[in-house]
Amino acid sequence: MRIGQLARRSGVSVRALRYYEEQRLLESARTPGGQRDYPDEALERVQLIQDLFAAGLSSRTVVELLPCVSTGVATPAMLDQLITERDRIAARIQDLTRAKTKLGRVIENVTAANVARD
């Protein structure tokens, strides 16, 4: 599969895929002419990368954790980092939940005020 097709299937840009390779998050074979040629598994890989990015992990962290995420084998240090990241995500969820509640109350207030005025 070439880069354009992988981009369309995964929903990320061509530029992003090249960036992932630059960051050693994603490998590619090359055609004799030098064009990237991806195996089918690359699609899942890209989706995994996106998930980890979406979780707020940096590309540096992702490149460190990807091996054990896909192989299931980890050093103690990697396990530590996994746990740290999971806890960071949990804390972030708490923050967002608080903010959401706050906004929800503002919306209720505003709505109530508008209804009262009508």
Partner DNA sequence: CCTCAACCTGACGTAAACGTGAGGTACGAG
Partner DNA sequence: CTCGTACCTCACGTTTACGTCAGGTTGAGG
Residues that bind a second copy (CB under 8 A): 51-52, 54-56, 68-69, 72-74, 78-79, 82-83, 85-86, 89-90, 92-93, 95-100, 102-104, 106-107, 109-111, 113-114
Distance CA 73, CA 68 (A): 5
State the nearest-atom distance from the C-beta of 28 to DNA, in Å: 7
Between 32 and 95, CB nearer to a second copy: 95
Sign of CA dihedral 29, 31, 33, 35: negative
State the nearest-atom distance from the C-beta of 113 to DNA, in Å: 28
Distance CA 99, CA 92 (A): 11
Among the candidate windows 17-25, 65-73, 79-87, 99-107, which touches DNA by CB under 7 A?
17-25
Residue 17: how many other CB atoms lie within 10 Å: 23
Footprint of DNA on 33-92 (CB under 7 A): 33-36, 53, 57-60
Residue 105: how many other CB atoms lie within 10 Å: 10
State the nearest-atom distance from the C-beta of 97 to a second copy, in Å: 6
State the nearest-atom distance from the C-beta of 49 to DNA, in Å: 8
Helix (H) or strand (E) holding 103: helix 76-117
What are φ and ψ of residue 30, in 5° steps? -125, 145
Partner interacting with residue 36 (select from a second copy, DNA, none; CB below 5-8 Å by kind): DNA
